[in-house]
Structure 1
């Protein structure tokens, strides 16, 4: 402590700030094990940004040397987007980040040439895959750094199940199966679930973070198609 109360107050504020007020700078990424992972996150709502938020957290996690895997449901492709999405290109360039797609071409319940039973088959296969990945994380030692180049079957620190809540909302997978998946996760695994315009009440008491992304205005309502670099 000093004799200057203003200096003492400033130092106290800095002590409560990550990095103590030092301007952050990029560092070399070395494999590491997170100390505080293990929560269940739910991102839902009719606004744009649910997937974007999940991807942003994934990028932040790999920046600390953690292992992240993205499993996307529903987003199998459509005439409004290109075959390769920007996030896939970016993920491929990041150490410790991997992805896979469990979607079917088109969109469920839309007149786009795709069959609803195909969407259901792919969604159920995706849920089975998610279950396998959660089990793999349970078998892994998440208290030690994971190989950033290792397969997700060797364990991950963060598992993002993008659009799984849409699949449940549309009856392609059961909400009960999603609850079972959440309840089976190991304590150290950070589990992120996104999707659905409808509130997933079945997860309200089982999630640690529930965020509603609400739409006030969206260009799609004026006929704007998905744009390269923002929606894919």
Structure 2
């Protein structure tokens, strides 16, 4: 039995200073998996195994593959560790390979915009990925600070705006909600 394939896949960007960019991409992944599509997510600058989406995908969603390409610690924008740069570059190479092979219908590059802003990876390489993606691969890029050149190439750009966040009232990140 053959599975469905997208005929005109687009490039989507979720950016802005509000909470919900990764969450939006995961909602899209869940929807796609529900319709029989295969999804591959690369999480740039993330290395903690505590994220609920990792556990859910492993336990319940065999058509959703999530790989992390970062350390568990925060990255210093002014002085990123060599490991942060190497992991981001490895993540970008994985993205190129997965997208070029075309086995996945939806590919999510989570926090790639931040990796670009921190100069961990090269913008021109990301633009080439967008330009050369197969017609049936929907590509999602998340993270703050999206470069103008990516906005210009994207088909859909959503800016998630922070209006109010419980963090500023002293509420720490909650398991199952923020991660």
Give deviations 1:137-189, integer Å, cap 9, x for gaps.
1xxxxxxxxxxxxxxxxx10101111111100111112111111111101110
CA RMSD of aligned residues (A): 2.0
- Partner SS, residue 153 of structure 2: coil
Equivalent position to 2:156, from 197, 209, 213? 209
Tell me the CA shift for residue 36 of structure 1: 4.3
Structure 1 unaligned residues grouped into runs of 5+: 1-29, 78-82, 138-154
Is residue 30 of structure 2 the alignment partner of residue 59 of structure 1? yes
TM-score (norm 2): 0.91
- Whole-angstrom CA distance in 2 between matches of 1:186 and 1:120: 27
Tell me the CA shift for residue 136 of structure 1: 0.9
- Whole-angstrom CA distance in 2 between matches of 1:35 and 1:184: 16
- Whole-angstrom CA distance in 2 between matches of 1:168 and 1:192: 15
Paired residues of 2:14 and 2:141 also in contact (CA < 8 A): yes
Is residue 45 of structure 2 the alignment partner of residue 74 of structure 1? yes
Distance 1:133 1:223, change over 3 A: same
Task: Name the residue aligned to 1:222.
Answer: 169
Task: Name the residue aligned to 1:121.
Answer: 86
Equivalent position to 2:138, from 185, 190, 212? 190
TM-score (norm 1): 0.72
Task: Name the residue aligned to 2:56.
Answer: 90
Tell me the CA shift for residue 48 of structure 1: 0.3
Tell me the CA shift for residue 220 of structure 1: 2.0
- Whole-angstrom CA distance in 1 between matches of 2:107 and 2:54: 16
The higher radius of gyration belongs to: 1
Paired residues of 1:62 and 1:96 also in contact (CA < 8 A): yes
Equivalent position to 2:69, from 102, 112, 115? 102
- Whole-angstrom CA distance in 2 between matches of 1:161 and 1:191: 8
- Whole-angstrom CA distance in 1 between matches of 2:151 and 2:80: 31
Choose between structure 1 and 2: higher strand proportion. Answer: 2
Query: RCO greater where, 1 or 2, for CA within 8 Å and sep 6 or more?
Result: 2
* Structure 1 segments of 4+ aligned residues over 3 angstroms from their partners: 34-37
- Whole-angstrom CA distance in 2 between matches of 1:222 and 1:106: 24
- Whole-angstrom CA distance in 2 between matches of 1:117 and 1:105: 14
